[in-house]
Each structure stands twice: as C-alpha cells, then as structure tokens.
Amino acid sequence: MPDPQDAQSLPETSRHPGWQGILDADEQILWQGQPDRRIRIEFDNLRNIMPGLFAVCFSLIWMYLAAQASIVFAMFGLIFLFAGLRQLFGQLLWKAFLRSRSWYTLTDRRVIIATDVPSKGRRLVSYPLDRNTLVEFVAGDPPSILFGPEGGRRFERPGFRHIADAETVMPLIRRVQQSGQPPVEEAGA
C-alpha cells in the first residue's frame, strides 16, 4: 500500500491520472461528469425539424399519388423521403450521440469539455472561469449550466448540458468565481 506521505510530495497532476500536461501543477479537479444521453425534443430543435417533416409528408403524398400511375415513378419520392427523415431525426440522434461521447470537468480555475466523436476525433476545450465569466443555470430535466454570453442562433453556448447534479455543481462554480482568482485578462497586468 502506498505511503500517504509520498502522495503529498507528488505533483498535483499525478494525483489525477491521465491529466498530466493538461492541468496546471497546482490545479485541482472539483467535479467530473457526463450529460444525460436521452434523445431530447426541445424548442430549438423544432425549427430544424419542421422542414424535414414537410419533406416527409410531401414525399409520402407524392409516392402514394405517383404509385397509381407507375411504381417506378413513385420510387423517385424515396430520395425526398430519406432526405426528410434525415432532417427530421438526424439532429435529434446526432445531439444524443454527441452527449454520449462528452465528458465535463470543473477545476478550481476552469471548465473543460471533452468529446470523442469518431468522425472528428478527440477534442478538449477549456474555458477560463473567473469572477467575470457569465454563468447561467438553465432549469430542465436535468438542468444545464451555460458559460459566456449568447452567441446568436448559429453558435451554441458552451456549457455542462443536461447534468443530473447541476444543483451541486453550481455552488462549486460560484465558489471558484469568488475565490479571488484575478480575471484572466488582468492576470498578466
């Protein structure tokens, strides 16, 4: 059994296996977790789903009416059917898949979001956390914690999305923000 005295003399990152070269020497991990993996239908998804729903309905009507004239002619509707189904379900399935391949970490200085998607590879994005960082608790089942200002329709805000223990993580984030760490842009001044 390792001696606890030896553990105290080790660099801090060696206490967190796999984090060597990622965490600063005295940086501490406060929380780690993963988002809820369920398929979620949210209001934001509806504007992406509606064109797919229209394409599916149109292609089904097309195929039904065209099949009365010729089955070969009706098969051209399959192109629109598959395109509509992709638009309809692709967003929902992709976001659920992305959440299943995401991991969240909160340290005493920053938030880290890691993803491992086969088509894009491994990605680790770090966001500094100081008293100037905008943090928003978004109620839901489960809730989310978002960071930074809203970036408009095309840009999704970074955050810990759909985490079961958001009520535990939010006070940790507030404590890091109030810990007296200088804002990142003022750290070098």
In the prediction, which pLDDT does 100 show?
A: 92
pLDDT of residue 8: 44
The pLDDT > 70 percentage for the chain reads 82
Whether residue 153 is predicted with pLDDT greater than 70 in this model: the reply is: no
In the predicted structure, residue 180 carries a pLDDT above the cut 60? no
CATH architecture of structural domain 4-33+102-179: Roll (2.30)
Nearest to 172, CA basis, from 77, 105, 127:
105
pLDDT at residue 2, as a whole number = 41
- Residue with the bigger pLDDT between 52 and 14: it is 52
Phi and psi (nearest 5°) for 94? -65, -45
For 128, the 3-state DSSP assignment is: strand
Asked if residue 142 has a cis previous peptide bond (ω within 30° of 0), the answer is yes
Largest Cα span, the chain: 84
pLDDT digits (tens, 9 = 90+) for 129-151: 988 889 999 998 899 999 988 76
Q: What's the rounded mean pLDDT across residues 121-131?
A: 90
Q: CA 23, CA 101: separation in Å to the nearest integer? A: 21
Supply the pTM of this predicted model. Answer: 0.73
Average pLDDT over residues 74-101: 89
Which range in 86-90, 101-105, 138-142 is most confidently predicted, on average pLDDT?
101-105
pLDDT of 187 over the 50 cut: no
Q: What is the mean predicted confidence (pLDDT) over 31-54?
A: 84
